[in-house]
Structure 1
Amino acid sequence: MFRFFLLSIVCLITIPGFAQFPESKPEDEPFLDIGVALRFNYNLSTWKEDQLERGGDFGFDIFRINVLAAYKGIKLNAEYRHYAEGFGGGMLKQGWFQYDFSEASQIQVGLNQVPFGIQQYNSNNWFFNMTYYVGFEDDHDMGIKYIRDTGRWKWQAAYYKSAEDLVFSAAEGSPDRYSYDILGRNKENNQLDFKVVRRLGDSLAHELGISTQGGLLYNLDTEENGTRYAGAIHYEYKTGHSLWNIKLQAMFYRINPEYAPGNNLNFVEMGAYGANYNVANKGEIYTAGIAYHIPLETRLLQGITLYNNYGYYNKRVSGFENSHMNVLGALWTAGPMYIYTDAAFGYNQPWLGPEWENAFTAGTPGDTDWHMRFNINLGYYF
């Protein structure tokens, strides 16, 4: 009879609830680690007059289950999330099979994180950074990825057949997913990624990296493939012994769909959390983040992390107004609870302003204002 080993979830300070496999364990002994999380959210948005009259809204955010398993050298990593129906309902955030060739190299097959840019997150806050909202931060696709990490060098190479396809046919993809993908009348397919990181310094705290990405884009109307590609350079300062975290990244992307004659060629649809919006075909995104952790030894609080994350989206399409995003806030650590308090400011950002469909294309030229959403996310992780 299988013997199962239930271990507590190891929570990382940046984003809690991220489980890890044990460093050493006999391969013929089964391993199972199950974690759960429950989160509630309060928000107050300056552009919603009815919400201001109510004093904000407080409700359900997410119930989450994480599973790690291993037997005979084959590992499993999966995370299933259930959001409110208005944000997509139930969805698989990630899920892959893994085999370790050695302590330095592994292969992952399934819905895994695309190796592009600063990972695991190009942000410290609950809202992520600008890169997330156009599909270049914490993106997960269906494919195979090889990782080799020798300490000083880490490189990853991946092939993705598709994004999180929920319908195996020539039909529009559903936006009921965790990470942003190109949807509507186009489907992502046959994508290649390569990323290399060089760690510098005696403590390997400085990470300098380059990422590249290229793939096809199948159009449902013309039944032809367009192309898409992107590149990034990035730097992160991080170490388990430091109170500081610094993230800097510059990236570009180009999307060339094969639209039917007469269609607008300047944007594509992207979607996640149950809804689509339009995104410019060309652009650059520049992001910068800084965080400082204050360790505490009180009965209630074990630490406070202060942070600021900024993103600038330069759209390379004539007539499209650029976008900005800045999140200033703090993460409060209290035992199994992680509490994010964020003041998120947006300028032509669909989640942070009244314009949804075209905030990442033309925006509202001549009539755009900065908007703010104050947000408190309460999460219990076990």
Structure 2
Amino acid sequence: MYLKFRMVMVCALLPIVTVLAQDKPEVTIGGALRYNYNYSSWKEGHQKRGGDFGLDVFRLNAKANYKKLSLDAEYRLYSTDFGGGMLKHGYVGYELNDNSNLQLGLTQVPFGILPYNSNSFFFSMNYYVGLEDDYDMGIKYSYRKNNWELDLGFFKNAEELRFGSNTDTDPSRYSYDVGSIVIDGETVLRNKEVNQLNGRVGYNWGSDAVAHHVGTSAQYGGLYNLDTEELGNHYAFEGHYQLKVNRFGLKAGVAYYKYNAENPLEQGKDLIAFVAYGASYMVAAEAYTYTAGASYTLPVNWEHISSFTFYNDFGMLDKCNDGFEDAFMNVTGVMVSAGPIYTYIDYAMGKNQPWLSPEWTNGLGAGNPDAEWEARFNINIGYYF
């Protein structure tokens, strides 16, 4: 009789114990350590010493869940020349129901193909003009049900690291944002993104073997100039398509953007400055981007290696100013998956592309009419934990 009573009490108390256990936050810590080798055709030193091999990034990831609340943050440590330490993203989430949630903080701007509009280590042309894998400070609503995707966001500003009344945007950041640039010892094009609205709609159809996705995005926001203290604006639109046929994948998109900055008269309105990774460069204030990427995953069983993903990503910045030279990039490569180790082996080519040619300051701006295609052979090795 006593044993039976104990069993009844255990069964009665079990749901209560379970609920109490769920009241405790669940925390997961992870991260990655990545190294990078690169050999650039336009760097004479690389030709003499066979390129450079060094630290890419050490990062820490933290995720937590508590009832309907969640946290997701990632902090990265790059070398000093690439900006040093920076928060890639960090937000608090709230699950409204099974189909929708809110995110508050430094969260990904909903624009284009998510989470990436590319396959390679170098992303697509959109990334370098702030339209891919961009993170800003604000609030975002996401809805997923049946075949539909809907994202709405309001972003007060890009990640703010300097809180003075007239301070320039700090370039120590992961994603590209509007900022300032020093030309001939003078800081010019001193703009900041403010009060930005974003909307994105996507639709999915097909089967596990053949899946389609089509979507469109729009954003509109203010552009505050620190010298004139006047407010301009900027906006962008994009349409994209994504296809998956078994192991084959295709991504394609067309975007248009325009920045109407209230710069001082002598600085004009044809150029805008972008900042990230501790440095600045100029970008055409109005342009179209065309991106296309194809991939194929080949499963294998070679010791620790489980798959090879072959890809090619192409991008073009079609500048609306007839006096500017367009920019191009093409990345052919393979990602090797081996347990927790992922290796990107890329042959990246660029023309008037800051990261893939010698045209750093003006490549995406006015460009160089005498620019030629340059190449960068790149190997990125990362252990993810």
Q: Same fold (TM over 0.5)?
A: yes
Partner residue of 1:235? 241
Q: Which amino acid aligns with 1:196?
A: V
Which runs of 5 or more residues in structure 2 are unaligned? 1-19, 181-189
- Return the offset for 1:300: 2.2
1:32-87 CA distances to partner (integer Å, 9 max, x unpaired)?
11112000000000001111110110001100001100113210000000001100
Superposition pairs for residues 237-316 of structure 1, below 5 Å? 237-238=243-244, 242-316=246-320
- Return the offset for 1:26: 7.2
Structure having the larger proportion of residues in helix: 2
1:200 counterpart = 2:196: no
Among 343, 364, 368, the alignment partner of 2:347 is 343
Which runs of 5 or more residues in structure 1 are unaligned? 1-24
- Return the offset for 1:27: 4.6
1:189 counterpart = 2:184: no
Q: Which amino acid aligns with 1:276?
A: S
1:115 counterpart = 2:121: no
1:226 counterpart = 2:232: yes
The ranges of structure 1 where at least 4 consecutive aligned residues each deviate by more than 6 angstroms after the TM superposition are none
Q: Which moved more, 1:69-78 or 1:179-188?
A: 69-78
Aligned residues: 355
Does the 8 A contact of 1:27 with 1:73 survive in 2?
Answer: no
Structure 2: how far apart are the matches of 1:243 and 1:370? 31
Partner residue of 1:64? 59
1:373 counterpart = 2:368: no
Structure 1: how far apart are the matches of 2:322 and 2:163? 36
1:295-352 CA distances to partner (integer Å, 9 max, x unpaired)?
1122121000000000011001131000110000000011110000000000110111
Secondary structure of residue in 1 paired with 2:172: coil
Partner residue of 1:8? none
Partner residue of 2:324? 320
Normalised by the size of structure 2, how large is the TM-score?
A: 0.90
Partner residue of 1:13? none
Structure 1: how far apart are the matches of 2:94 and 2:352? 43
Secondary structure of residue in 2 paired with 1:317: coil
Q: Which amino acid aligns with 1:145?
A: K
Secondary structure of residue in 2 paired with 1:132: helix
Partner residue of 1:172? 168
- Return the offset for 1:251: 0.5
1:137-174 CA distances to partner (integer Å, 9 max, x unpaired)?
00000000000000300100000000011011221011
Does the 8 A contact of 1:98 with 1:109 survive in 2?
Answer: yes
Structure 2: how far apart are the matches of 1:119 and 1:27? 31
Structure 2: how far apart are the matches of 1:234 and 1:363? 27
Does the 8 A contact of 1:67 with 1:76 survive in 2?
Answer: yes
Secondary structure of residue in 2 paired with 1:52: helix
Give the number of the structure whose alpha-carbon radius of gyration is greater. 2
Secondary structure of residue in 1 paired with 2:46: helix
1:186-214 CA distances to partner (integer Å, 9 max, x unpaired)?
00000000000011124482110010000
Structure 1: how far apart are the matches of 2:380 and 2:146? 35
- Return the offset for 1:31: 0.6
- Return the offset for 1:244: 1.3
Query: Identical aligned pairs, as a percentage?
Result: 49
Secondary structure of residue in 1 paired with 2:139: strand
CA RMSD of aligned residues (A): 1.3
Normalised by the size of structure 1, how large is the TM-score?
A: 0.91
Secondary structure of residue in 1 paired with 2:301: coil
Partner residue of 2:366? 362
Among 44, 60, 73, the alignment partner of 1:49 is 44
Does the 8 A contact of 1:122 with 1:129 survive in 2?
Answer: yes
Partner residue of 1:73? 68
Q: Which moved more, 1:200-209 or 1:278-287?
A: 200-209
Secondary structure of residue in 2 paired with 1:262: helix
